[in-house]
Chains A and B, each alone.
Chain A
């Protein structure tokens, strides 16, 4: 409360700022088509850079992001310039136009995450935005409320590893639980009678998540209105069609272009080229002859992605289950689903391999012998056990475990780097098949180097060789 009243003096300026970086009021500007085209293309490229920066930062990130802020500011300056008025116009026009362009496109979710990443970089004075802008539904927690729920709220303080004695009601905000499902998933909120309480260390997440909801909602509205806009501004819609696709294949990776492998290849590959999630499932399958439904889906589509054709896959699974399941039973119980995965049954959808985000969202249930999901988001203890089993040395192991705190993808990338020393892949692992493909490329590179070396040795030995 005290904090809020202090801000009253400069409330107008702060709230203007809040509104403009959260894009709440649609601006009125006069501008021509050329301007719009330039603005949009620039923002598009800028967002692309922001997303790349986010990836690199995650890989490099150790304890803080001090270096990242610099990089971002350079990007921002290059994109928007430093003239205040022009800056605002360009920023807003390009944002609202891209909303319109992306609302019904395949790249909509890319756009939304890019805008969220942009906002995350821009949010500096988090608490002043929270206290001055309430349009997203959050509200302060009163002293009485804080006292009443203190025991529960302490959970969040302990989780953030802060001192309980330094905390008071102004360190919390609350909002309807429906607005922040992701924070509820990860227990960064305490829910009491439908209200989610957020601790100061997660205010930034709270703003970004609600901003994301707002963008989704706003873009749905634009989408509903797009026919009218199409008629009124055909040239705008025409231009939108020419905007390039985001990223260099990061959003919709194409896998399955690998050369085919045989079922015998799976075992050696599992040692050299499988990410942890797939390795865990493979090992469990071989050891116990069991893999539950969700695991079969994740692992099966992965195998398909690395080039195991249907016939080989059928034999692979049949053998893997053979300790426990007879041939007839296999044909009855499992073959149909496998055919389904390969698009040979049902709606003939050819299931594509699961991405990391999808695998992360599938959390195995305790006690059901389920081993699917991402090992880096599950209990650290069993992960450590697994790393020990794989013979990863102490130093690397601690690094990987530490990295899970930043993000599972970073930990996975660390594991990749461990398996593939001196590799030159710059990207964060965000798909198990990317892990595999990079690994295969890596070994191919090694082979080529080796044979080139041999070749040159040969050449030295036989200087009169025809080549």
Chain B
């Protein structure tokens, strides 16, 4: 399902005060120039200004507007200049003097023609040309395996699932594909967005995007592909043992314990001794036996782990750890061109939190509950500087890369 289908909310009409805050935010804080560079740097072929402008003109944007208690999603918007986008986001004054301020901004692909003029070309000539490679991971997909929060709420503990996802994806993208221009963004409520801007990522077709996701699909098998094997040892297993076990009470919580047991095979034929064992039952029995011993989750885990190792069930050990730590990516968003993703530096319409870039090296320390809200930003604009600086550094790095490639045409 598309993100904008889920989020339509008929109850929240934004209040007047909020409208003026949003207008002020777009007017004084939102980093339009950086956004422009970020979206267009990799389109440069010959003429910097011209290529960037053309790429921007053909980029699809979409906004959500609330009016008279109803929300509308407007797609296929495009703008000639970044200033026009700014004016548009500041809203239009209706006949009644009330501003209609768009609540959020979504970014789509670059098309073969301006999206706002799509009706002037034939359907055959209008098609997406490029788009950043994106990943969208929502914490609600972890509901069955988290006990700290429910539905769309997100705390430091369950952020761990998203943080380890970022670690995994970062390593995967750099090692396997050599991508470098990767930005991590907190979506403002429950999600993590990953934007890959490298030129070679922008022009991947649908099949390529799907293959990037399919390649790391786990199999219950000991011969794991190298990137999974290494990630297991260096990223996933340590995270599982150091954080997930205790944070999510894998054995000490009744619901979690049942869930864990269901991951184990019911019967398993041991090739070496020609006997059939019943792992799920065996471990359940063991867990009931030690119930009163007040062991920590880690202590129980190490007992379970040695049972699995002793019984040749290493592939199931892999399976369990992968199950609790592999990124649960919303795949259609990564694969398709028609799925839009919320722009960085938006204000999330429900939480009013700022949608901010994250430093991959500090991502485990991030606390989603300390992200500034619109109110706080208006009261103390200095709060904004840190995030803007991060975005600027990222864009500068992209520029650096661009300069290098111009000097060394072999890189194209």
User: Once the chains bind, are B331 and A191 in contact (CB under 8 Å)?
Assistant: no
Pick from A50-58, A182-190, A349-357 the stretch touching chain B: A182-190
User: Once the chains bind, are A363 and B200 in contact (CB under 8 Å)?
Assistant: no
Q: Does A74 have its Cβ within 8 Å of any Cβ on chain B?
A: no
Question: Using a CB-CB cutoff of 8 Å, which residues 167-192 of chain A contact chain B?
Answer: 177-178, 181-182, 184-187, 190-192
Q: Does A366 have its Cβ within 8 Å of any Cβ on chain B?
A: yes
User: Once the chains bind, are B223 and A194 in contact (CB under 8 Å)?
Assistant: no
Report chain A residues within 8 Å CB of B323: 366-367
Pick from B82-90, B173-181, B292-300 the stretch touching chain A: B173-181
- A interface residues, tally (CB under 8 Å): 29
Q: Does A381 have its Cβ within 8 Å of any Cβ on chain B?
A: yes
Docked CA distance A152–B176 (Å): 11
> Measured between C-beta atoms, what is the minimum distance from A364 to chain B in Å?
10
> Measured between C-beta atoms, what is the minimum distance from A178 to chain B in Å?
5
Pick from B48-56, B204-212, B365-373 the stretch touching chain A: B204-212
Pick from B8-16, B64-72, B213-221 the stretch touching chain A: B213-221
Report chain A residues within 8 Å CB of B265: 381
Q: Does A151 have its Cβ within 8 Å of any Cβ on chain B?
A: yes
Q: Does B409 have its Cβ within 8 Å of any Cβ on chain A?
A: no
User: Once the chains bind, are B225 and A181 in contact (CB under 8 Å)?
Assistant: no
Task: Find the B residue at minimum CB distance from A369.
Answer: B144
Docked CA distance A370–B223 (Å): 25
User: Once the chains bind, are B331 and A184 in contact (CB under 8 Å)?
Assistant: no
Report chain B residues within 8 Å CB of A191: 176-177, 215, 227
Q: Does B275 have its Cβ within 8 Å of any Cβ on chain A?
A: no
> Measured between C-beta atoms, what is the minimum distance from B230 to chain A in Å?
9
Q: Does B284 have its Cβ within 8 Å of any Cβ on chain A?
A: no
Question: Using a CB-CB cutoff of 8 Å, which residues 206-253 of chain A contact chain B?
Answer: none
> Measured between C-beta atoms, what is the minimum distance from B281 to chain A in Å?
15
Contact A293 to B1, CB < 8 A, known contacts A182-B211, A190-B225: yes
CB-defined interface of B137-164 with A at 8 Å, one 1/0 digit per residue?
0000100110000000000000000000
CB < 8 Å neighbour of A379 from B141, B211, B219, B266: B219
Q: Does B326 have its Cβ within 8 Å of any Cβ on chain A?
A: yes
Question: Using a CB-CB cutoff of 8 Å, which residues 165-186 of chain B contact chain A?
Answer: 175-178
Q: Does A155 have its Cβ within 8 Å of any Cβ on chain B?
A: yes
> Measured between C-beta atoms, what is the minimum distance from B322 to chain A in Å?
7
User: Once the chains bind, are B223 and A155 in contact (CB under 8 Å)?
Assistant: yes
Q: Does B399 have its Cβ within 8 Å of any Cβ on chain A?
A: no
User: Once the chains bind, are A185 and B214 in contact (CB under 8 Å)?
Assistant: yes
Q: Does A368 have its Cβ within 8 Å of any Cβ on chain B?
A: yes
Q: Does A193 have its Cβ within 8 Å of any Cβ on chain B?
A: yes
Docked CA distance A352–B326 (Å): 34
User: Once the chains bind, are B177 and A367 in contact (CB under 8 Å)?
Assistant: no
User: Once the chains bind, are B226 and A181 in contact (CB under 8 Å)?
Assistant: no
Report chain A residues within 8 Å CB of B227: 191
Docked CA distance A209–B17 (Å): 59
CB-defined interface of A328-371 with B at 8 Å, one 1/0 digit per residue?
00000000000000000000000000000000010101111100
Docked CA distance A187–B219 (Å): 10
User: Once the chains bind, are A184 and B178 in contact (CB under 8 Å)?
Assistant: no
Q: Does B348 have its Cβ within 8 Å of any Cβ on chain A?
A: no
Q: Does A122 have its Cβ within 8 Å of any Cβ on chain B?
A: no
CB < 8 Å neighbour of B218 from A193, A366, A369: A366
Report chain B residues within 8 Å CB of A155: 223-226
CB < 8 Å neighbour of B215 from A184, A367, A379: A184
Q: Does B243 have its Cβ within 8 Å of any Cβ on chain A?
A: no
CB < 8 Å neighbour of A181 from B211, B220, B223: B211
Docked CA distance A192–B176 (Å): 4
Q: Does B388 have its Cβ within 8 Å of any Cβ on chain A?
A: no
User: Once the chains bind, are B218 and A181 in contact (CB under 8 Å)?
Assistant: no
CB < 8 Å neighbour of B326 from A159, A366, A381: A366
Contact A193 to B204, CB < 8 A, known contacts A365-B331, A367-B145: no
CB < 8 Å neighbour of A185 from B144, B175, B210, B226: B210
> Measured between C-beta atoms, what is the minimum distance from A194 to chain B in Å?
5
Contact A367 to B328, CB < 8 A, known contacts A152-B226, A185-B210, A293-B1: yes
Docked CA distance A266–B307 (Å): 44
Docked CA distance A152–B141 (Å): 32
User: Once the chains bind, are A194 and B178 in contact (CB under 8 Å)?
Assistant: yes
User: Once the chains bind, are B200 and A181 in contact (CB under 8 Å)?
Assistant: no
Report chain B residues within 8 Å CB of A367: 141, 144-145, 323, 328
User: Once the chains bind, are B215 and A192 in contact (CB under 8 Å)?
Assistant: no
Report chain A residues within 8 Å CB of B178: 193-194
Chain A CB count within 10 A is highest, among B207, B218, B265, for B207
Docked CA distance A363–B215 (Å): 12
CB < 8 Å neighbour of A158 from B205, B212, B223: B223
User: Once the chains bind, are B331 and A187 in contact (CB under 8 Å)?
Assistant: no
User: Once the chains bind, are B214 and A184 in contact (CB under 8 Å)?
Assistant: yes
CB-defined interface of A144-177 with B at 8 Å, one 1/0 digit per residue?
0000000110010011000000000000000001
User: Once the chains bind, are A177 and B177 in contact (CB under 8 Å)?
Assistant: yes
User: Once the chains bind, are B144 and A181 in contact (CB under 8 Å)?
Assistant: no
Task: Find the B residue at minimum CB distance from A187.
Answer: B225
Docked CA distance A159–B223 (Å): 7
Question: Which 4 pairs show the lowest CB-CB distances between chains A and B?
Answer: A181-B211, A193-B178, A152-B226, A184-B211
14 A–B pairs (Cβ distance < 8 Å), ordered by A: A155-B224, A155-B226, A159-B223, A177-B177, A184-B211, A184-B212, A185-B215, A190-B225, A191-B215, A366-B322, A367-B323, A367-B328, A369-B144, A379-B220
Instruction: Known pairs A178-B208, A185-B215; list 15 more (Cβ under 8 Å).
Output: A151-B226, A177-B211, A178-B200, A178-B205, A181-B207, A181-B211, A184-B215, A185-B211, A185-B214, A193-B178, A365-B328, A369-B144, A379-B220, A381-B220, A385-B266
Give A residues with C-beta under 8 Å from B: 151-152, 155, 158-159, 177-178, 181-182, 184-187, 190-194, 293, 361, 363, 365-369, 379, 381, 385
